[in-house]
Amino acid sequence: MTTSAESNAERLLRISEQVAAKPPRRRTRFSWLTALIYLLLSLGAVVMIAPFVWMILTSFKPGAELIDFAFLPRNPTLDNYRLVLTTSSFGRWYFNSLFIATVSTLSVAFFDSLVGYTFNKFEFPGKTLIFLGILATLMIPTEMLIIPWYNMSVQLGWHQGNMQYWGIVFPGVITAVGIFLMRQFFDSVPNELLDAARIDGMHEFGIFWRIAMPLVRPAVAALCIFNFIGNWNAYLWPLIIASSREFYTLPVGLSFFRGESTTQWEKIMTGASLATIPLLIVFILFQRQIIKGIALTGLKG
């Protein structure tokens, strides 16, 4: 199915662009089958969206209204938000999540690209061995590494004080998936272009940074999106390594938040809304790029 002129990377990019593209406006004649499909899809969409709508509506209700089972809040209030924001450390958790996801994404974008580029454009002794050594780590589940990581972190003091930021971030600063993905994408950068720059006397890092990198921007963007969402939502490792409240990320903070207000659903839903709404807005704004990014990284093989 692949034409010989098209590299694997170009094919992946085309597929993921296609899947995220605005669907063609096909003029379909009315048929009962189409009507049934729309009905089923709409029912499904309600099941997907309704929980979020209910979450947001609940967050605007005074606690006493919860047992009324009215759909809309009768006396909408921001008290829950005021209370949650003043009594918990949500602001700090936002900052932590944002900081950690940004740092790890920048690092991944740089190192994964650099390593992917090296494997694609350079010949050196041990190349295959090193590449397989990196690729093989894909088979090691994070769950197996958390105990050794925790031991290393305790020895080095990464579970205390400001070092907790590093403790949360360090396992994800370089990823094998990203290296694998980027290695394929540097295929689309012609070697002649790099050689021309070499003749002009540009040094190798400059060639990578100023000539090759701008040409693989769509792949880097996809990698960044995928990585940012993954780190923003990461739970198991931050839960283990962040020992003090000020260093929780949003998911960790939220999970402990439950214990503090066990049956006060309006407060819990306010916390859940605070944790989800920013991402929902980002998703609605960049829907197509995000779907493309996930499809691209998901399809990589």
Partner 1 sequence: MKLTLRRRQILWAYAFLAVSLIFFVVIRWYPTLLAFNISFRDWNVFQNNGPWVGLQNYQDIWSDLFKQRSAVRAAFFNTLRYVIIGVPIQLALGLMIAMMLNSIGRAAGFFRAAYFIPYVTSLVAVAFVWNWLYAPQTGLINQLLLALGLPMQGFTKSPQQALYSITAVAIWASLGFTVIIFLAGLQQIPDVYYEAAQIDGAGRWPIFWRITLPLLNPVIVYLSVLQTIGFLRMFDLVRNMSDQGQGGPLNSTTTVVLEVYKEGFGSYNMGYAAALTVLLFFVILIITIFQLRVLQRRVEY
Q: Which positions from 152 through 181 interact with partner 1, judged by CB under 8 A?
A: 152, 154-155, 170-171, 173-174, 176, 179
Instruction: Rank residues 215 and 240 by Cβ distance to partner 1 and give the closer one.
Output: 240
Please report, as residue ranges, which positions from 45 to 84 form the binding site for partner 1 (by CB under 8 A): 45, 47-49, 51-52, 54-55, 58, 66-67, 69
- Binding residues for partner 1, total number by CB under 8 A: 99
Count the residues in the chain: 301
Interactions with partner 1, residue window 224-243 (CB under 8 A): 229, 232-233, 235-236, 240
Question: Phi and psi at residue 135, in whole multiples of 5°?
Answer: -60, -40
- Residue 130 binds partner 1, judged by CB under 8 A: yes
Phi-psi region of 30 (alpha: psi -120 to 50; beta: other; left: phi over 0): beta
Q: Does 5 bind partner 1 (CB under 8 A)?
A: no
With binding defined as CB under 8 A, does residue 221 bind partner 1?
no
Both tokens of 45, joined, read 């969409």
Structure tokens given for 121: 């454009």
Q: Token digits for 41?
A: 């899809």
User: Where does this chain touch partner 1 (CB under 8 A) — which range of 42-50, 73-81, 87-95, 209-217?
Assistant: 42-50
280 binds partner 1 per the rule CB under 8 A = yes
> Of 235 and 245, which CB lies nearer to partner 1 in the complex structure?
235
Residue ranges of the alpha helices (H) in 126-245? 127-136, 142-156, 163-169, 176-185, 191-199, 204-206, 213-215, 217-233, 236-241
- 222 belongs to the binding site for partner 1 (CB under 8 A): no
Q: Does 87 bind partner 1 (CB under 8 A)?
A: no
Find the binding residues for partner 1 in span 9-38 (CB under 8 A). Answer: 15-16, 18-19, 22-28, 34, 37-38
Residue span binding partner 1 (CB under 8 A) among the ranges 72-80, 81-89, 211-219, 291-299: 291-299
Compute the C-alpha angle 34/39/43, nearest 5°: 150
Indicate left, alpha or beta for 22 from its phi (over 0: left) and psi (-120 to 50: alpha).
beta
Give CA–CA dist 92/164, Å, rounded.
14
| Cβ contact 12:223 at 8 Å | no
Query: Binding of partner 1 at residue 125 (CB under 8 A)?
Result: yes
> H-helix or E-strand containing 229?
helix 217-233
141 touches partner 1 by CB under 8 A: yes
